[in-house]
């Protein structure tokens, strides 16, 4: 089926975490039309129940696809992907790319065979993480910790607010203070918000750590799935869509504009 050059890529997250997926996609596909959708009314997802997310995410994506007619949708949120990806794929008739914790590359990188999975509470308890760990990290000690505060730190950073360095330190301590944590050499950033505060995490780390996440790999996947399709001759202005527009969302405008998202509207 021929895809119109104006058909956008749709990125979906609870907040601004998906920008860590959008940025490498922009580099790979500079002229792609972009719709970035944030469920600000449902934010944050990491503290919600599986049942809430399983009901909310497919319904919202259905509305977004109906309104914007994208060529492809990206669930740029680990929590939503680990819970609702299969349901969204079953409901939509376009390709859907999910984001899953980068456990395979962490297992390949770790020299000490101890690595951490730092995500939201909802993500780190998912059976999906158990399966990835069993498949790729069976010979490793895999530590897990959920941090809702780190999600809020990323949102605050993009709003230009002053940051509390204790938040990054406490998030890492949740891994390092576990048995084996002092030998940990690699940390999976298993929430799309967390690469946005990688510099803060690195500054707070009391030992050498390599941080891994899936942004570049997902960008390559999007490029592969859209190869041969036409794009506009020049980059169109992107659109950021929010389920609730308020002052905290308005203060994100400069950070969104850096990625070409110059229009904002409610869903």
The residues carrying an active-site annotation are 77, 191
195 near 215, Cβ under 8 Å?
Answer: yes
46 belongs to an annotated ligand binding site:
yes
Rounded-to-integer distance, Cα 226 and Cα 155, Å: 30
What are the distances in angstroms from CA 263 to CA 35, 63, 85, 101?
A: 10, 19, 27, 30
Tokens in use for 99? 């984001």
193 belongs to an annotated ligand binding site:
yes
Largest pairwise CA distance in the chain:
55
Three-state DSSP at 258 gives: helix
42 belongs to an annotated ligand binding site:
no
Rounded-to-integer distance, Cα 82 and Cα 210, Å: 23
Three-state DSSP at 13 gives: strand
**Mind giving me the DSSP string for 114-170?**
EEEEEE-HHHHT-HHHHHHHHHH-TTSEEEEEE-HHHHHHHHHHHTT----HHHHHH
Residue 12, beta-bridge partner list: 37, 75
Distance between start and end Cα atoms, the chain? 28
79 belongs to an annotated ligand binding site:
yes
What are the distances in angstroms from CA 197 to CA 152, 181, 225?
A: 10, 21, 29
99 belongs to an annotated ligand binding site:
no
6 belongs to an annotated ligand binding site:
no
Binding positions are 13-14, 45-46, 78-79, 192-193
Binding positions for substrate are 13-14, 45-46, 78-79, 192-193
């Amino acid at each position: 089926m021929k895809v119109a050059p104006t058909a956008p890529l749709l990125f979906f997250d609870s907040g601004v975490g998906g920008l860590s997926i959008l940025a490498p996609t922009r580099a790979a596909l500079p002229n792609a039309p972009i719709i970035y959708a944030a469920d600000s009314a449902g934010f944050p997802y990491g503290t919600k129940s599986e049942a809430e997310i399983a009901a909310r995410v497919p319904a919202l994506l259905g509305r977004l696809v109906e309104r914007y007619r994208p060529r492809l949708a990206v669930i740029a949120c680990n929590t939503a992907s680990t819970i609702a990806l299969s349901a969204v794929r079953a409901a939509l008739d376009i390709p859907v790319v999910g984001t899953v914790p980068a456990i395979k590359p962490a297992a390949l990188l770790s020299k000490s065979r101890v690595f951490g999975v730092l995500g939201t509470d909802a993500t780190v308890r998912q059976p999906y993480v158990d399966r990835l760990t069993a498949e790729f990290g069976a010979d490793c000690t895999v530590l897990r910790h959920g941090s809702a505060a780190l999600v809020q730190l990323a949102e605050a950073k993009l709003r230009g607010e002053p940051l509390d360095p204790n938040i990054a330190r406490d998030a890492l301590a949740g891994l390092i203070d576990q048995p084996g944590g002092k030998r940990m050499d690699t940390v999976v950033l298993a929430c799309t918000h967390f690469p946005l505060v990688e510099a803060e995490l690195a500054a707070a780390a009391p030992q050498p750590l390599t941080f891994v996440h899936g942004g570049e790999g997902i960008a390559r996947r999007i490029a592969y799935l859209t190869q041969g399709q036409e794009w506009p001759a020049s980059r169109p202005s992107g659109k950021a869509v929010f389920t609730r527009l308020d002052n905290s969302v308005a203060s994100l405008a400069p950070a969104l504009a850096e990625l070409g998202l110059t229009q904002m509207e409610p869903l």
